[in-house]
Amino acid sequence: MTEAFDILLAALILGLALWTAIARETFAAVLGFMAYGLLLTLVWVRLHGVDVALTEGAIGGGLTGVLLIGAAARSRATESVSLAERPGTLTRALAAGLAAAVASALAVCVLILPVPAPTLAHEVAANLASTGVGNPITGVLLAFRAMDTLLEAIVLLFALVGVWSLAPDRAWGGRPGLRHSADPNGILAYVARVLPPIGVVVAMYIFWVGADHPGGKFQGATILASMWLLVMMAGLADAPPIRRSWVRVGLVAGPVVFIAIGLLGAWTAGAFLAYPDGLAKPLILVIEFALMPSLTLTLGLLMAGAPQRPEAP
């Protein structure tokens, strides 16, 4: 029964991926991609990666899908121009040949993976107790491989700096994106008033249970950021001008706390990002609490895009 479900799921995913490749309209392809992201979430659950499923659903399918739809809607007018630049038959045949070769090589690799599979699960299980957290993924993210998580938060900041640097000169320091206006009595404004309180509670719950169960700051921050986006799209609140100092401080506060605790580890525990004995859990909590608002702000502003309007007087 589950085998049949898996095969159906794999077939649907491949079908949707093919659809995004061959659909004539970009908008249709992007919608296919969003459905693909949601189905991929199911695959992660089938592969016993519930934390990954939450991240994929929130970020991979959700935020990326919204970004793509916005871009597709704005570049619709120029679509026909670039369609005429379709590469020649030879290029496409070579591309298909290369893609088939890479896919076959990977498929062979999948089939000849070593048995029994190498795993670090035993090491994680043996050392998890010293971190004080119950969810092994959180343990890996914030203790065993904390450096990755720190760099990831910094990559997000760099991406935001990159996006901001695309602002036209006159809009530098101003508000990102276009001003959204919606009917104040319409359904969007209604949803944007009713949903955020529920969303905030769900986000905090997912954030808090992340210590012992699937969830965590990234998933929670994504939900918070999408609630913020909803409020902005309904025109209930405008995006903040990026020159505001609270925006700048908020963005870097999380990574700065993370780095400070890392340096504290270098001083007290002998290695950058090492936690002193018995203090692992409280320090992890401090990092999570500091990162969550910064991540929310970063994700929300990344979605809002480059500054386009000078700050209104």
198 near other proteins, rule: CB under 8 A: no
91 near other proteins, rule: CB under 8 A: yes
60 near other proteins, rule: CB under 8 A: yes
Selected from 35, 78, 182, 191, the binder of other proteins by CB under 8 A is: 78
59 near other proteins, rule: CB under 8 A: yes
The nearer residue to other proteins, 74 or 193, going by C-beta atoms, is 74
Q: Which stretch binds other proteins (CB under 8 A): 106-114, 184-192, 231-239, 242-250?
A: 106-114
87 near other proteins, rule: CB under 8 A: yes
Report the candidate in 76, 37, 35 with the shortest Cα–Cα distance to residue 53: 37
At 10, which amino acid appears? A
Least distance in Å: CB of 191 to other proteins? 24
The nearer residue to other proteins, 13 or 285, going by C-beta atoms, is 13
Selected from 1, 4, 90, 122, the binder of other proteins by CB under 8 A is: 122
Report the candidate in 224, 233, 229 with the shortest Cα–Cα distance to residue 197: 224
Least distance in Å: CB of 113 to other proteins? 7
96 near other proteins, rule: CB under 8 A: yes
Site for other proteins in 22-51 (CB under 8 A): 26, 29-30, 33, 36-37, 40, 43-44, 46-49, 51
Total number of residues binding other proteins (CB under 8 A)? Answer: 101
21 near other proteins, rule: CB under 8 A: yes
Report the candidate in 94, 32, 37, 25 with the shortest Cα–Cα distance to residue 61: 37
Here the tokens at position 222 are 């994504």
The nearer residue to other proteins, 170 or 193, going by C-beta atoms, is 170
Contact in structure between 63 and 33 (CB atoms under 8 Å): no
Q: Which stretch binds other proteins (CB under 8 A): 121-129, 263-271, 272-280, 286-294?
A: 121-129
The nearer residue to other proteins, 36 or 258, going by C-beta atoms, is 36
Least distance in Å: CB of 95 to other proteins? 4
Burial of 117 (0-12, 13-18, 19+ CB in 10 A): exposed
Least distance in Å: CB of 224 to other proteins? 15
